[in-house]
Structure 1
């Protein structure tokens, strides 16, 4: 039997890249999935690809009112939640000394504030045993030049999971962090020239970049009962870059 049969999941930032791969994996494993994104056309394309059991809601995770609308849709259509994946995030690569206030505000608003309210506003809908998966990054421990601010936002995500784990018994959930390494997606890495990507591969002990599907498999594990005794932990999927 599919490992998420009967589960209801939210995946923010689910219209492309890792989020889309997670939504696809959850659907394949029997879950009813709600995905969010800021662009309606991208969400429409994702739903057309994923088909039944996937609902899209236009929402910016940095806007609490948008998250209210998301969870009202979940309440109306499903009545509860079993899985929340706080995946929506942005990163801006900027030379040291040239970071702007706008870049700082935007990255912290989406990556940190957005994650906080994605979880906080989900609490009334969570069923006992729910799994919260926060998408971190290997940049939290080993940020590349120009990604210091992005890395700081992801370090905050790691600490949020540690803190929220103390509330897991009271609220009946588990919370863990999934931290990808270098994975080609429509985000930061796709903006990197091909020769730089080849250079990145040489820093990975496995000798290659990861795939969204590999991250989706790890997210599915964290969402499922197979990880039922994991709480407050970080699962790093980066080919070994930050582990050795």
Structure 2
């Protein structure tokens, strides 16, 4: 009897010493980290003719605007501001360019839209290119297609916002008006706030054209000419292009 009990005890002990299977927790699949969107610069500060010029970057962690520097890269949503006599030229990778001055504030928006809230601005597309570009203001939008346009928002807004074509065709769209206004070389409109009548297109005569071409704001005040300067020097009011009389 004792022998049987001893054998049974040893058998139980051996069974207890065998390794038991270990339960493995279920594998949890974690989502792969989302790739960081690589946003590339679309423009740069080409020149600073006079200071001060400031940039408020949407691409950096800097919450305040900084002094603009030549060759500084610019991104969508960046803001450029000039103060006093400050003037700067910005060039895009796609051939669009502009100059601003006169206490100007401008924001770069997607799809070649340039939002001007104050100051003076001249915008162009390099000859031979057709890059749809819009200069947007609270009082109207100027669409250019391989042309050179000028927009001025005065400090006294009651004087009216000026839209002017330096060369080529500029199409102006006004708020709450379905009809577009087409400006040819040397033509302008003055858009006044709360006006009940649409602005009248005024075309400069040849004498006025020659005078303003020599002293045009932002046109002649930089050391280097804009890419469309040679066209402006040869074209006359009323022409859509040099090939068209």
TM-score, length-scaled by structure 1 = 0.28
More helix, by proportion: 1
Rg larger in 1 or in 2? 2
TM-score, length-scaled by structure 2 = 0.28
More strand, by proportion: 2
Q: Structure with the greater relative contact order (CA < 8 A, sep ≥ 6): 1 or 2?
A: 1
